Each structure stands twice: as C-alpha cells, then as structure tokens.
Amino acid sequence: MQSLLFTAQTMRTKIKFHFHELPADVHLQLRDSLLSHIDRFSNGPHSTVLTQLVVALVDLMAYVVAWTDPLGDLLGFFGHRTDRLKTLLEILEVFPQETESRALRISDERLSALDDQLRSHGAEIMALLQTCLTTPEYQEKTHQ
C-alpha cells in the first residue's frame, strides 16, 4: 500500500510542478495511463491512492490545452456506470479546488477556459447529481 501511495503522490507532484519538462507528444498518453490507473483503483480499498491520482489527472487537465473537452470526456467515461460514479464525483470536487490553486502554473486565459468548460457542462453535472440523489442504485454507490 505504501509503495502505491508513494507512486501516486510522486505522479501528482511531477505533473503539478514539472509538467513543462514532458514532451508534448506524450501528454495524451499520460492522460490515458492516468485514466487507466484511476479506473483500476475506483472500486478498491486504496482511496488515498485514488485521490492522489485524481488530483494528478485534474492538474493534467489544466495543463494539456490539446485535451479540448476534458470534462466532457470524463463525464462520458465515468458518468454512465455506477461503479465509476464515486470517482467522477471526486473529480468534480477536486476540479475547482485544483484549478484555483496557486501552485498550478496556468495562465489566466487557461483558467478562464477551464471555468467556461465547467459552466458549459453545468446542466449535465446537475443532472448527474440529481440522479445520484434520486436513484437508489447510485445512492448506494456514492455512500460506500
């Protein structure tokens, strides 16, 4: 468990503070790898590892301009399966916290674009939250 947590924290730190060192051609591969690991840990007992991976993913969302609709992609990837819903809710919780963090080195223009993206998916997010509140299957998954 400790080695998993250390690895996830290292990934988060590397993305947050050393992202500029990565060649642009690996950005989307890193995204895919993070999504795979997040999916793997979504239903496991290692919630602290999952949280670190989620923070790393959100930081990556902030930095990778080529990822044109990260929230839409994540809503599609995580939002339609009950076993992934808790992870999506964690991403949505972390997203505004991380993008407002002064530790992220993003321009005001990029921050504005991310805010616009959150607003553009607002209705979809609200519908998802409403589903969580009213559907027993979703309530069970989000309260575990």
- pLDDT per residue as tens digits for the range 79-100: 877 788 889 999 999 999 998 8
pTM, to two decimals: 0.90
pLDDT of 138 higher than 90: no
Count of Cβ atoms closer than 10 Å to residue 34 Cβ? 22
In 3-state terms, what secondary structure has residue 22? Answer: coil
d(CA 83, CA 106): 32
pLDDT digits (tens, 9 = 90+) for 21-33: 999 999 999 999 9
Q: What is the mean pLDDT of the chain?
A: 90
Query: To 10 degrees, what angle do helices 27-41 and 47-63 make?
Result: 160
* pLDDT at residue 72, as a whole number: 94
* Residue with the two structure tokens 């991310």: 114
d(CA 33, CA 85): 19
Helix (H) and strand (E) counts for the chain? Answer: 8, 0
Average pLDDT over residues 55-82: 92
Structure tokens at 77: 């990837």
Question: For the ranges 6-10, 33-37, 73-77, 128-132, which has the lowest average pLDDT?
Answer: 128-132
The region that residue 104 occupies, defined by phi over 0 for left and psi between -120 and 50 for alpha, beta otherwise, is beta
